[in-house]
Amino acid sequence: MRATIMYGPGDVRVEHVPDSTIIEPTDALVVVTHAAICGSDLWPYRGYGQFRPAGNRMGHEFIGIVEAVGSEVRTLKRGDFVAAPFAVSDGTCPFCQEGLHTSCVQGKFWDNIDLEGGQAEAVRVPLADGTLYRLPVRPDTALLPSLLTLTDVMATGHHAAVTARVGPGKIAAVVGDGAVGLCGVIAARRLGAEQVILMGRQPKRLELGKAFGATDIVTERGEEAIEKVRQLTGGYGAHAVLECVGDELAMQTAVNIARPGGAIGRVGVPHYAGIPPLFPTFFKNLTISGGPAPSRAYFDVLIPDVLEGRIEPGRVFDFVGGIESVPEGYRAMDERRAIKAMIEF
Amino acid sequence: MRATIMYGPGDVRVEHVPDSTIIEPTDALVVVTHAAICGSDLWPYRGYGQFRPAGNRMGHEFIGIVEAVGSEVRTLKRGDFVAAPFAVSDGTCPFCQEGLHTSCVQGKFWDNIDLEGGQAEAVRVPLADGTLYRLPVRPDTALLPSLLTLTDVMATGHHAAVTARVGPGKIAAVVGDGAVGLCGVIAARRLGAEQVILMGRQPKRLELGKAFGATDIVTERGEEAIEKVRQLTGGYGAHAVLECVGDELAMQTAVNIARPGGAIGRVGVPHYAGIPPLFPTFFKNLTISGGPAPSRAYFDVLIPDVLEGRIEPGRVFDFVGGIESVPEGYRAMDERRAIKAMIEF
């Protein structure tokens, strides 16, 4: 079978690897039908952070068909159409029970040297009962791109909105016009925000953001952006700020555009050392929240809106190709030619 | 009249100053009956942070009787018994309406060179209608110490508990056994916490914490303290952490003893640069909240429990003296001989 392997910054390849098989009795073997490339896949591709061991399998957003299950798997069977959230979880620990599957006591993130990756023809999925979500549709549905986003990017945008405490009548600001930010716009509107300010610089993305419900666009950066948001919010700032970039400037912008008493939901894989100074976070009584989204818990929340067409997060995919085009998908996203790439098998 | 003036680190004096008078039509003149010394008064006393101008009036926790009101004051009259929260607020701006009086658009903190201080025989109180809370008791009530705590320390403990999201059945941990931490214990129990872990080292304070409802005491510091809290919480940490110290070690302890998905409420006047690293704040999905407590909003919430004797935060006062003993009150608190000092006039 073929799988995607990261060898080093800028060096991602699709190669033949031994076929995936069941190892543990709680495993399922999934034949992938659709996978995505994540913004966070670009971090090692760009050489940011500590590089993971060369030879790491890539991909943590995928959908597919169960080919086989281990002897202890109870809720899944061969032929089930399933989605895999970006973290493995047992479904039974206290954190899974609370809906925080990304803190599962047995949990792991994909793209870990111990696990396989989803940008591959097949994947061994550990803790299959807890991890996989059975999709209530046929594999040929036109809704597939949107369903695929529930494995990570749409769940992550939703988590940003939830942790930023978006609610009816609130003013939300979304820092970043990448795929997560765009899904954050969908999520903020879905949760009732009256005004959604999208901050970014890429015309094509901003257009999609407007289609998703952004009411205002801010293309400025730094101090000018902060001033612009103040103007758009009666001088006070946004109640809810969705931090969807993950660098220090974005976080500084977030704390400065938040209204006193407001909240910031930060998601993705932030790459800064700490949360910025007490001024203004403390003295404005800001709440800073967020983290890795519990996608597994959000399927039940979000899937009805996808199935009934009320939200269309799949529109973030503007690059579609077969497995051989994975390296080109990385390049297109890295060069910002594509918002997000979907791989069809 | 006599007032308390800070001249420099370690140099606080009670001196004769010109009598306070009404200046603005929205002012009230309050003759102070009881004032307190705050843990935050010790910051300039100890020379921490940027020193405020020599000659600054001190005191932001006081109760007294209205002596006179300006021509535009509508809700107060001479003879009213009132409490002053630690921040001035107009009561009408959007933030006051939302209950976040410490972000009032016209607001100011006491101990500001523009304002007088409460460790004095009388105080000019700006924006009196919005700022002062009329107490529904006679000035000779035995409940006075507890009512005095509502101006700051008990409100601050409550704010820590609210922003740390304490609720029924939750495990709360209180970092710090000072007066704020002790009030945090009261607040956590009052909001329904099942287990309240108090972290501190002063036997007398810890005893009072137990009397206030702490179920567990942790006297260790740093890594050992973190390990102890883990043992006390089934290995996972506390749902709600009340950070009532304000230095970097305390904040690091707080983020390490918080359970994944938990919240930290930080209060007082923290003296560290930023919130510590992404590990573990981000990856544990911690919520970090808190700030200056809106004491003005919390009077209505807390006063019934004080009046009916369900909470007794006034027990934190273990030093009581007249105005001449203010400098000794500072010394006693600085040397940790006293938890908190009350001044009677």
Same domain (yes/no): A11, A83? yes
Give the chain A residue nearest B235 (alpha carbons): A105
Q: Is residue A41 very low, low, confident or very high in pLDDT (cuts 50, 70, 90)?
A: very high
Residue A50: predicted pLDDT: 65
Chain A closest-CA separation from residue B251 CA (Å): 12
- Indicate which of B288, B295, B296, B298 best probes the interface with A, i.e. most A CBs within 10 Å of its own CB: B288
- Indicate which of B245, B278, B279, B284 best probes the interface with A, i.e. most A CBs within 10 Å of its own CB: B278
Same domain (yes/no): A286, A315? no
Match 């998703």 to its residue by tokens: A212
- Domain final residue, candidates B265, B290, B315: B290
Beta bridge partners of A133: A83
Whether the bond into A280 is cis, omega within 30 of 0: yes
Chain B closest-CA separation from residue A91 CA (Å): 16
Q: What residues of chain B lie within 8 A of the CB of A270, using their CB?
A: 278, 282
Give the chain B residue nearest A93 (alpha carbons): B236
Q: Which of A263, A255, A170, A209 is nearest to A217 (CA)?
A: A209
Q: Which of B134, B156, B153, B157 is nearest to B145 (CA)?
A: B153
Chain B closest-CA separation from residue A159 CA (Å): 10
Interval B83-98: pLDDT, tens:
999 999 999 999 999 9
pLDDT at A277 over 70: no
Q: Is residue A214 very low, low, confident or very high in pLDDT (cuts 50, 70, 90)?
A: very high
Same domain (yes/no): B278, B249? yes
Out of A266, A278, A285, whose CB is closest to B102? A285
Same domain (yes/no): B106, B190? no
Output the domain CATH number for residue A137.
Answer: 3.90.180.10
Chain B closest-CA separation from residue A291 CA (Å): 4
Give the chain A residue nearest B163 (alpha carbons): A287
Give the chain B residue nearest A288 (alpha carbons): B288
Chain A closest-CA separation from residue B272 CA (Å): 8
Same domain (yes/no): B129, B176? no
Cα separation, B312 vs A88, whole angstroms: 48
Whether the bond into A277 is cis, omega within 30 of 0: no
Residue A164: predicted pLDDT: 98
In terms of residue numbers, what domain contains A135? 2-152+294-344
Asked if B236 and A281 come within 8 Å (Cβ–Cβ), the reply is no
Q: If interface means Cβ-Cβ distance under 8 Å, which residues of chain A face chain B? A: 94-95, 98, 100, 102-103, 163, 236, 260-261, 263, 266, 270, 272-278, 281-292
Asked if B291 and A282 come within 8 Å (Cβ–Cβ), the reply is yes
Cα separation, A178 vs A200, whole angstroms: 8
Asked if A286 and B291 come within 8 Å (Cβ–Cβ), the reply is yes
Asked if A282 and B273 come within 8 Å (Cβ–Cβ), the reply is no
Residue A201: predicted pLDDT: 96
Same domain (yes/no): A281, A299? no
Q: What residues of chain A lie within 8 A of the CB of B282, using their CB?
A: 266, 270, 290-292
Output the domain CATH number for residue B171.
Answer: 3.40.50.720
Residue A51: predicted pLDDT: 58
Same domain (yes/no): B269, B166? yes
Q: Which of B237, B284, B244 is nearest to B265 (CA)?
A: B244
Same domain (yes/no): A7, A92? yes
- Domain final residue, candidates B290, B313, B329: B290
Asked if A291 and B283 come within 8 Å (Cβ–Cβ), the reply is yes
Q: What residues of chain A lie within 8 A of the CB of B288, using their CB?
A: 275, 287-289
Give the chain A residue nearest B281 (alpha carbons): A291
Interval A112-143: pLDDT, tens:
667 899 999 999 999 999 999 999 999 888 99
Residue B123: predicted pLDDT: 97
Same domain (yes/no): A104, A214? no
- Structure tokens of B339? 């938890």
Same domain (yes/no): B182, B86? no
Compute the average pLDDT of residues A57-73.
97
- DSSP helix/strand/coil, B220: coil
Residue A298: predicted pLDDT: 98
Residue A58: predicted pLDDT: 95
Per-residue three-class SS string for B243-261? ECCCCHHHHHHHHHHEEEE
Q: What is the pLDDT along chain B (345 residues), one digit of tens a residue?
A: 999 999 999 999 999 999 999 999 999 999 999 999 999 999 889 987 665 677 889 999 999 999 999 999 999 999 999 999 999 999 999 999 999 999 999 999 886 667 899 999 999 999 999 999 999 999 888 999 999 999 999 999 999 999 999 999 999 999 999 999 999 999 999 999 999 999 999 999 999 999 999 999 999 999 999 999 999 999 999 999 999 998 888 999 999 999 999 999 999 877 777 676 667 889 999 999 999 999 999 999 999 999 999 999 999 999 999 999 999 999 999 999 999 999 999
Out of B100, B266, B273, whose CB is closest to A260? B100
Pairing state of beta strands B171-175 and B87-88?
unpaired
| Contact between residue B88 and residue B107 where contact means Cβ atoms under 8 Å apart | yes
Asked if A291 and B277 come within 8 Å (Cβ–Cβ), the reply is no
Q: Which of B277, B175, B182, B186 is nearest to B226 (CA)?
A: B175
- Indicate which of A102, A275, A286, A298 best probes the interface with B, i.e. most B CBs within 10 Å of its own CB: A275
- Domain final residue, candidates B290, B307, B329: B290
Same domain (yes/no): B9, B82? yes
Same domain (yes/no): B8, B147? yes
Based on the structure, what is the number of domains in chain A? 2
Out of A100, A163, A276, whose CB is closest to B274? A276
Residue A271: predicted pLDDT: 76
